[in-house]
């Protein structure tokens, strides 16, 4: 059988030299490599009848010849197409390589969806500085000088000492700093949605040192807690679906009275408790009726006007979307394409 392989190689080399068109090359390929009657495949099928020692010798030679025939056919086909053998074969019938197509980041998608939901009930999108004055972030929001939020372990301070009438510069820790800025415009009623980056010295499965918040603020005559609850329920039903559970818990914030924290049932553990939520509910943020002192700071008469405000983390709100199953908020900013390309 070794002689047969040798003769087969010689006959193939002679025949391929005389090939001058593609049809003849196709016929030659079938005659040697065809599954049913190919000359080389007939030899390969006969290997099972050889003794083991002979099979070990003949098998590698037959496979080597098969590879040579395949390579020579490719080279010959290049010659027929291009007039000579080229270093790289190019099949003009193959579809072109598609350019990679990206998409908006998950947080950007969430911001746009949240904005659209509130626009439908008359809220106008605004944006305020990421580098903020201590006054707007704390003082105007009814926070005393010794409030824990003003501690350097909570807030990123740019200045060690006050640099003007509005105090130190900081990286804004919450979008609530936009409340009094909006009031200072002097245009009532107010119905704003402020979405911006915020900064706090926290990092774990449910916190980031840089994150996004959306701040809702409505100020008009005769605004009540009923308006606040109706607005929150409207958002929950539109963003999470009609069957999702949420709750309001009494809380204390310096800039709202009464105040609430808003929780949503955890989609990761279905309410059983996990690293993200701890006890089946994940806190999204705070809400409440705007404190009279905050209205006064914004030059608004608290006896004539009232309002509500709420501030929630965009990333947290997004993580609780049904079916996402993202167990760590930090994954959103790891820039791992294997994760991002799933969405």
The tens digit of pLDDT for each residue in 288-307 reads 999 999 999 999 999 999 99
The reported pLDDT for the residue numbered 91 is: 72
The reported pLDDT for the residue numbered 90 is: 66
The reported pLDDT for the residue numbered 121 is: 95
The least confident of 59-63, 68-72, 214-218 is 59-63
Write out pLDDT tens, residues 139-155.
999 998 887 877 777 88
The residue assigned the tokens 């439908």 is 120
Q: Is the pLDDT of residue 1 over 70?
A: no
The reported pLDDT for the residue numbered 235 is: 95
* SS3 category, 163: coil
The reported pLDDT for the residue numbered 158 is: 93
The residue assigned the tokens 């598609």 is 98
Q: Is the pLDDT of residue 137 over 90?
A: yes
Record the pTM. 0.69
E strands present in 54-141? 124-126, 131-133
The reported pLDDT for the residue numbered 89 is: 60
CATH class (in words) of the domain with range 106-129+179-340: alpha beta
Q: State mean pLDDT over 328-341.
A: 88
The least confident of 260-264, 278-282, 305-309 is 278-282
Tokens of 342: 């799933």
Q: State mean pLDDT over 13-31.
A: 84
Query: Residue 98 carries which DSSP code?
Result: P
* SS3 category, 266: coil
The H or E element spanning position 214 is strand 210-220
CA 343/CA 339 separation, integer angstroms: 8
pLDDT classification of 68: cutoffs 50, 70, 90: confident
Query: Residue 80 carries which DSSP code?
Result: H
Q: How many CB atoms lie within 10 A of CB 158?
A: 12
């Amino acid at each position: 059988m070794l002689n047969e392989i040798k003769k087969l190689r010689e006959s193939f080399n002679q025949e391929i030299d005389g090939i001058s068109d593609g049809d003849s090359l196709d016929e030659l390929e079938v005659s040697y490599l065809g599954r049913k009657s190919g000359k080389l495949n007939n030899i390969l099928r006969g290997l099972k009848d050889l003794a083991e020692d002979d099979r070990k010798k003949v098998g590698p030679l037959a496979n080597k010849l098969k590879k040579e025939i395949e390579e020579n056919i490719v080279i010959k086909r290049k010659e027929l197409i291009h007039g000579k053998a080229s270093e790289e074969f190019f099949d003009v019938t193959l579809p072109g390589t598609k350019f990679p197509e990206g998409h908006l980041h998950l947080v950007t998608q969430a911001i746009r969806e949240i904005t659209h939901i509130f626009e439908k009930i008359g809220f106008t999108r605004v944006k305020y500085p990421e580098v903020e004055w201590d006054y707007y972030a704390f003082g105007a929001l009814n926070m005393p000088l010794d409030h824990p939020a003003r501690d350097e372990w909570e807030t990123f301070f740019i200045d060690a000492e006050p640099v003007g009438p509005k105090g130190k510069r900081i990286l804004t820790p919450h979008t609530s700093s936009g409340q009094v800025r909006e009031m200072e415009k002097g245009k009532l009623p107010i119905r704003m949605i402020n979405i911006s980056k915020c900064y706090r010295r926290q990092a774990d499965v449910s916190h980031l040192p840089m994150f996004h918040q959306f701040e809702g603020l409505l100020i008009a005559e005769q605004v009540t807690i009923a308006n606040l609850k109706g607005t929150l329920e409207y958002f929950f039903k539109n963003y999470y679906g009609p069957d999702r559970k949420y709750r309001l818990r009494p809380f204390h914030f310096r800039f709202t009275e009464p105040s609430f924290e808003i929780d949503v049932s955890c989609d990761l553990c279905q309410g059983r408790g996990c690293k993200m939520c701890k006890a089946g509910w994940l806190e999204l943020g705070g809400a409440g009726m705007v404190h009279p002192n905050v209205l006064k700071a914004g030059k608004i008469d608290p006896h004539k006007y009232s309002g509500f405000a709420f501030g929630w983390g965009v990333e947290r709100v997004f993580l609780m979307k049904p079916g996402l199953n993202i167990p760590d908020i930090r994954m959103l900013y790891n820039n791992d394409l294997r994760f991002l390309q799933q969405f």
